[in-house]
Structure 1
Amino acid sequence: MIAHVHVDAPVITIDRPFDYEVPEQFEALIEPGMRVSVPFGSRRLLGIVVGTSDGTRDGLKPLEALLDEESSLTDELLALSIHVKETTLCFRSSALLAMLPAALKVSYDKEIKEGHVPDGVRLGTHLSEYPKEVQSVILGLAKKGELILAPVLKEKKTVKTDVVVELLDATVVPKRAKKQLEAVDLLKETPRMYWSALRQIGLTRPQLQKLADLGAVRLTEVELNRDPYATIEQVEESVQLNDSQASAVLAIQEAEAGETLLVHGVTGSGKTEVYLESIGQVIDEGKQAILLVPEISLTPMMVKRFKRRFGDRVAVLHSALSKGEKYDEWRKIKRNEVDVVVGARSAIFAPLDRLGLIILDEEHETTYKQEENPRYHARDVAIWRARYHGCPVVLGSATPSLESYARAQKGVYRYLHLKERYGGEMPPVHIIDMRRELAKGNTTMFSEELFQGILDRIEKKEQCVILLNRRGFTTFVMCRDCGEGMTCPHCAVNLTYHQYGDRLKCHYCGYEVGMPSTCPSCNSKKIKQFGSGTQKIETELLNRIPEARIIRMDQDTTSRKGSHEQLLRRFEEGEADILLGTQMIAKGLDFPNVTLVGVLAADATLGMPDFRATERTFQLVTQVAGRAGRGKLPGEAFVQTYNPDHYVIETASEHDYETFFAKEMGLRQVGNHPPYWFLTLVTFSAKNPLVAKAEAELFASDFLQAHVENSRLNGPMPAPLSKLKNAYRYQVFIKTKQPDTLYAELARLQQARAKAISKKEYQMSIDVNPYVFM
């Protein structure tokens, strides 16, 4: 038997299946979708079996090991990997590995097999066990032939286990064994206990084994499931849907196989209840559902509602879980122990085989697009899977993406509109012209109207949400004598000052350095911080309102496991007056005591070099304004801007999506932007800027000579972020009306450059329908 295997080697010249002989002992076990260990040149690599065939062939290497007892990837996901490869122009191995949980991926190492080892090094150990300087010595000896190193593949998956201790006969325990007698006394009260509980009284493992040897207890090792949401209990809820919600649920229930529906509901219109009811109907039919949410910060509240409704038949997949927790949740899905999967982008690959419904909440969010290979969009994967299973896809948002809304207007998607808001009308939005505040001598980040509103809410024991979409203390540091700015030595960006630790950090590559007391260029002491981030706003608020209790949510305060949920729970329980944060607080949060929302620097994102900048600003302002007045108390929002007459600010303040859509679509049509044209971004990066530029120019020339119909090329040009992680970057933009023809030509051009790319002379990345242009 021959196995056709894709190996874990993202190199364009070997992006194809390789044939391996299947040893006789594996023939009855091997299946497509299994992970295997295979020899590849001088290495040992992880492989995914994509097919098998009978017979054999001379010269084939045998598989070394099967790493799974059953397939990790279903036939559907294997087919989906081909679709992802063709539509994102990634390697198929990258698509396959993206579908696996992190615990099923592997790390590579070398075992020290034979030879004369230096002091402190032992045979049979792995290279990674030693410090880097020792590793260099070992590698040097191996190069001289004095040591033999063998490649090894190390699995990351771990299964959490415990030992069940059952009492059999208490009389056989010697009276002098006090700790064992204490354990037996506990077992008399509870005849079955976990070893982890008995360990709390100081009982050691040898002492426990002695009890088993005496026949006092029976020991049984069991596997435990790591469930971070085990404390959430299922609750019977009776919710009365309004007419528009009931109509939406009926439309979803009666949707045709593979149909896509857009649920456009104003903030607070009860979209989640539509999701819950629709999924409940799917489960009653014996099918399963996936609900995707765009942000980790949204997950705790959504998970709580779904766990309360559907109990332990809900699995959760998102990056805030530990590797072990995600692995256990994935195995529950694989074993068909769940009906609903709730998670972020990668949960779209959940290995469900009875899919009856897929929902993308906040479908407009850019986090649904993966920015590294494979650069898939969860919406596109969802539509493919829905067609495969013959089930509907629901896209839900208060501010749909222009592409989705345009497709709904054309009839490509079915349009469902939820106009009614629970608790009354949308909150009034006050536009604050910060130019007038500056003219009055107010140089703070808070207008007088917003500041007084915050004081009023604190006095009334009500809560506020303040949004500033910039983390850190200040946005950049500059010398006022010579004008030199503090920039990252590896990227063409300013360093951001963070008050905690008095550090300057690059938010792209992670470089950081202490805040200098003098200018590195001219030694002047007139080095000053400019701009404001969330840390600075927090400091300013505490200085002006010392009694204010503030919770700050940004990437700096939510990096630890469980921090999102902990901070939101504290705010929900009234432990803070103000929730201050970046865009992660702008959507999906439902706190009935929030009566004021403030948006600082609402127009800060309008000047970004991105045709979607206006759309994102509209979405952000509209979404965050909708956090106010969601309970019985009335709410209001304050939007601070230096550009109050901009159509984005005006339409967002009036919650007028239709007017914004009409205006923006007119501009998109003039600019030949999506959704009128499909866009592809090709980026070339190299350590030498001349190499990056030359390769971009050569590619552009080759593409123009190919004469792809209904396509236009812009560039090459330096990327807005012209240097990233010590690599210089050039870009080429391609617009097309016929994406399938374009993708085939791009794949050909990519393959033509395979040799140079594989030698790492430069890197070429292709992003189909990009969302980031930096």
Structure 2
Amino acid sequence: MPHRNPTQTDLLPPAPDGRVRVMLTLPFAGPLDYLLPPRLADARPGDIVTVPLGRRTETGVIWDAAPNLPPEFRPPPPKEVATSRLKPVVARLDLPPLPAQLRQFVDWVAAYTLSPPGMVLAMALRANALAALPKPGTGYSPAPTLPADLRLTPARQKALDIAAAGPPLPAAELARRAGVGAAVIRGLAQAGALRAVEITPPPPFATPDPAHCPPTLGGNQAEVATELRARVAEDSFSITLLEGVTGSGKTEIYMEAIAACLEAGKQALVLLPEIALSAQWTGRFARRFGAEPALWHSDLGARLRRVTWRAVADGTARVVVGARSALFLPFDQLGLIIVDEEHETAFKQEDGVTYHARDMAVVRARMSKAPIVLVSATPSLESLANVGAGRYRHLKLNARHGNATMPAVETLDMRADPPERGLFLSPVLTGAINDAIGRSEQAMLFLNRRGYAPLTLCRTCGHRMQCPNCTAWLVEHRARHILTCHHCGYDEPIPQTCPKCADADSLTPIGPGVERITEEARATFPDARILVMASDTLSGPAATAAAVERIARREVDLVIGTQIVAKGWHFPHLTLVGIVDADLGLGGGDLRASERTVQLLHQVAGRAGRAEAPGRVLLQSYVPDHPVMQALVSGDFGSFMEQEAEQRRPGFWPPYGRLAALIVSAETPDAAELTARALGQNAPRLDGVQVLGPAPAPLAILRGRHRHRLLLRARRNIAVQPIMREWLSRVKPERGARIDVDIDPVSFL
């Protein structure tokens, strides 16, 4: 039986008739009932078991008798199944049980997002510890007394001397160190001179030392660090928003909260929006604590995922840094959660179970009775509204660390200083880049658009190259000689003739992507050492870390990148940032467009001037008087967000109201339209609730499926889940149609 830390819920006995509920990682409405055979009578909620399902065997978790949820979140009770029809549990796996807090969290996320709880459980169990770990290895040490008839040769004596000098070694390693053949080791073992012992593997993760290399903090930094330590010492749930300008040392300061958590003997979880950030972050962590944290993200190998999952469960992984899925690890001693760059939309998962990791992290912290710290230089309006309502504490860092100052931000009016025909960089910007490189400083160009060009059209007939599976233009990637769809992954070679009019060499790229800007930069700055940072050029965390190292070693003069360069990188020699198209992202009907643009461009601008040399940021814009551009120039992020709040408050738009989206999709347009129309006809008509739609989605076809959307908007004091559940129960989708639910949507495509 695996080790457990029993809780009150764990100790609840099975029902008198031996009935238990087992949650499977399948899209059922809830757990299924099974019988415990006498040999498993001591099984308890949280134990991982195998059970029969039809003709196959499935893995699941013995679940609690009833979900511990608020009344408005509780699903309808399941139908009772007669005991005589129940099948017995097959076996209990030798794995750490799922803690009660995690089981409660799975139920809560499922109820909040209107997702099948089994699919939420799959995020906690899939591809983790269910496969067996390799068995301990065998090593050899000298027998207490050597056999009397042992014939000692020089080779055998050397092997015995090496074996006696340290801990047991595997046969191959012992032979290598002694400089003898494998037959010598086998002969000594067969003669009884060496005895085989089981080698206990070392702990997979070293224990971080909170006293290893504490930083020297002063003034505002020391006050904030002391406050965060106090929150951890309270050993209770609290929410703190840590807002600090770029370069103010937010990471070093919240690491002091991690140190306090380690001193208290508890585990800490740090969520990052991008896996690419983990390499630089773990380096900073190792310098502070003398050991690396455990990592959790999709790029981990299967064995490391199994090792990490179990180390979290047994408490030997003291600090975990990971992507949003790390929220579903089996922490049993969780004492702190950090959500870095809390404003990032990358925390929202939109495939499968749709949830926002920042918001669910708050729920997990509350269930664990642990403090949570949300960190950002540009906090989301949701978090700022919670501060205003008194739900969150607010700590601020208004100055950069050391002698660094905030960069000067200027707009370049592209109507007054346009680039040459066919180019995209203003002469003012190219001159500033030349000056920076001439001073042996580094510069950066930012454009949040991958590829060479976002659109390709025929000069002869006007035909536009479009994805056959999506309502989207194909993006040219000239380096790979393809046109590709960034929504479904479809690609095709760049044709030599127009598919519509067959005119040769008539296709032309329209607009710039990061590849096209790189092409222009190479021609404009022929002697500059240029590095491109985009998801197309950086294959993973290791490649990203290598790129960051090159920049830090000053092997790069000009960095050109997409939004990956906007993250929390520290480039001390980078003094100039040029934003190629600052207006990109302001168009469309996204209610958060202005907020997101300010956040993104402020983060990009924050890469400049983080050390002694002052920084400068140039924004190429055709609307320099736009409130977003003015906020960036003035640096008054707070006033801008107050204006955003005033625009949203009257219409009860988030965060002053609630949204829930229904996305209808089908392989045929009729099935999608009929299902969407039925949803519209059955829409709830309640005071304080409004339903918008149905309407074709902006991406009316995605991955070959036709799509319609409906949006429910409600006052903040109205729980939308029971309304949505009742609404969906009144509509039967057309054959082949699917209805996806998105509570608190951040994307409206």
Give TM-score, length-normalised by structure 1.
Answer: 0.84
Deviations along 1:135-177, one digit per CA (max 9) or x if unpaired, are xxxxxxxxxxxxxxxxxxxx6565486554546689979989x
Q: Does 1:22 align with 2:36?
A: yes
Q: Corresponding residue for 2:748? A: 773
Q: Which residue, out of 468, 492, 499, partners 1:513?
A: 492
Q: Which residue, out of 661, 668, 691, partners 2:641?
A: 661
Q: Does 1:59 align with 2:85?
A: yes
Shift of 1:643: 1.8
The 5 A counterparts of 1:405-424 are 405-422=384-401, 423-424=403-404
Partner amino acid, structure 2, of 1:407: N
Shift of 1:518: 0.6
- The SS at the match of 1:703 is coil
The 3 A distance-change label for structure 1 pair 416 and 27 is same
Task: Give the number of equivalent residue pairs.
Answer: 709
Residue range with higher mean Cα deviation, 480-489 or 30-39:
30-39
Partner amino acid, structure 2, of 1:82: D
Shift of 1:34: 2.9
Query: Residue 339 of structure 2 contacts residue 374 of structure 2 at CA under 8 Å; is this kept in 1?
Result: yes
Q: Corresponding residue for 2:516? A: 536
Q: Corresponding residue for 1:471? A: 450
Q: Which residue, out of 232, 243, 263, partners 1:264?
A: 243
The 5 A counterparts of 1:490-569 are 490-525=469-504, 526-560=506-540, 562-569=542-549
Query: Residue 506 of structure 1 contacts residue 512 of structure 1 at CA under 8 Å; is this kept in 2?
Result: yes
Shift of 1:649: 1.2
Residue range with higher mean Cα deviation, 393-402 or 376-385:
376-385
The 3 A distance-change label for structure 1 pair 661 and 204 is farther
- The SS at the match of 1:58 is helix
Q: Does 1:245 align with 2:224?
A: no
Q: Does 1:31 align with 2:44?
A: yes
Partner amino acid, structure 2, of 1:9: L
Residue range with higher mean Cα deviation, 211-220 or 297-306:
211-220
Alpha-carbon distance in 1 for matches of 2:664, 2:132: 36
Alpha-carbon distance in 2 for matches of 1:451, 1:225: 55
Partner amino acid, structure 1, of 2:708: Y
Alpha-carbon distance in 1 for matches of 2:151, 2:726: 76
Deviations along 1:451-482, one digit per CA (max 9) or x if unpaired, are 22222333333222221111112212111112
Q: Which residue, out of 33, 43, 56, partners 1:43?
A: 56
The 5 A counterparts of 1:518-667 are 518-525=497-504, 526-560=506-540, 562-667=542-647
Shift of 1:516: 0.7
Alpha-carbon distance in 1 for matches of 2:175, 2:723: 64
Q: Does 1:321 align with 2:300?
A: yes
Deviations along 1:12-46, one digit per CA (max 9) or x if unpaired, are xx312111122333333x33223322221233323
Deviations along 1:496-518, one digit per CA (max 9) or x if unpaired, are 11123311111111111111111
Q: Does 1:100 align with 2:125?
A: yes
The 3 A distance-change label for structure 1 pair 485 and 766 is same
Q: Which residue, out of 738, 745, 748, partners 2:723?
A: 745
Partner amino acid, structure 2, of 1:772: S
Query: Residue 681 of structure 1 contacts residue 768 of structure 1 at CA under 8 Å; is this kept in 2?
Result: yes
- Structure 1: where are the runs of 5+ without partners? 105-154
- The SS at the match of 1:102 is coil
- The SS at the match of 1:411 is coil
The 3 A distance-change label for structure 1 pair 205 and 506 is farther
The 5 A counterparts of 1:82-161 are 82-100=107-125, 102-104=127-129, 158-159=133-134
Q: Which residue, out of 293, 317, 337, partners 1:358?
A: 337
Alpha-carbon distance in 2 for matches of 1:196, 1:531: 61
Deviations along 1:149-207, one digit per CA (max 9) or x if unpaired, are xxxxxx6565486554546689979989x9x9998897688774456757989999999
Partner amino acid, structure 2, of 1:590: H
Query: Residue 413 of structure 2 contacts residue 621 of structure 2 at CA under 8 Å; is this kept in 1?
Result: yes
Alpha-carbon distance in 2 for matches of 1:218, 1:296: 46
Instruction: Give percent identity, aligned residues only.
Output: 36
Q: Corresponding residue for 1:292? A: 271
The 5 A counterparts of 1:675-686 are 675-686=655-666
Q: Which residue, out of 389, 396, 417, partners 1:437?
A: 417
- The SS at the match of 1:44 is strand
Shift of 1:421: 1.5
The 3 A distance-change label for structure 1 pair 262 and 218 is same
Shift of 1:767: 0.5
Q: Corresponding residue for 2:105? A: 80
Shift of 1:241: 2.1
The 3 A distance-change label for structure 1 pair 69 and 358 is closer
Q: CA RMSD in A?
A: 3.2
The 3 A distance-change label for structure 1 pair 487 and 426 is same
Alpha-carbon distance in 1 for matches of 2:219, 2:721: 45
Query: Residue 203 of structure 2 contacts residue 316 of structure 2 at CA under 8 Å; is this kept in 1?
Result: no
- The SS at the match of 1:638 is strand
- The SS at the match of 1:562 is helix
The 3 A distance-change label for structure 1 pair 75 and 536 is same
Shift of 1:340: 2.2
The 3 A distance-change label for structure 1 pair 570 and 716 is same
- The SS at the match of 2:430 is helix
Alpha-carbon distance in 2 for matches of 1:713, 1:199: 75
- Structure 2: where are the runs of 5+ without partners? 1-17, 67-80
The 5 A counterparts of 1:759-770 are 761-770=736-745
- The SS at the match of 1:96 is helix
Alpha-carbon distance in 1 for matches of 2:729, 2:196: 59
Partner amino acid, structure 1, of 2:720: L
Alpha-carbon distance in 2 for matches of 1:244, 1:545: 42
Q: Corresponding residue for 2:71? A: none
Alpha-carbon distance in 2 for matches of 1:772, 1:537: 28
- The SS at the match of 1:435 is coil
Deviations along 1:223-256, one digit per CA (max 9) or x if unpaired, are 75796x9899999324232322233233334447
Alpha-carbon distance in 2 for matches of 1:233, 1:481: 68
The 3 A distance-change label for structure 1 pair 561 and 636 is closer
The 3 A distance-change label for structure 1 pair 195 and 522 is farther
The 3 A distance-change label for structure 1 pair 57 and 266 is same
- The SS at the match of 2:519 is helix
- The SS at the match of 2:748 is coil
Deviations along 1:639-690, one digit per CA (max 9) or x if unpaired, are 1122211110111122211221122223223554211211111100011111
Alpha-carbon distance in 1 for matches of 2:656, 2:392: 16
Alpha-carbon distance in 2 for matches of 1:457, 1:268: 20
The 3 A distance-change label for structure 1 pair 31 and 642 is same
Shift of 1:399: 0.6
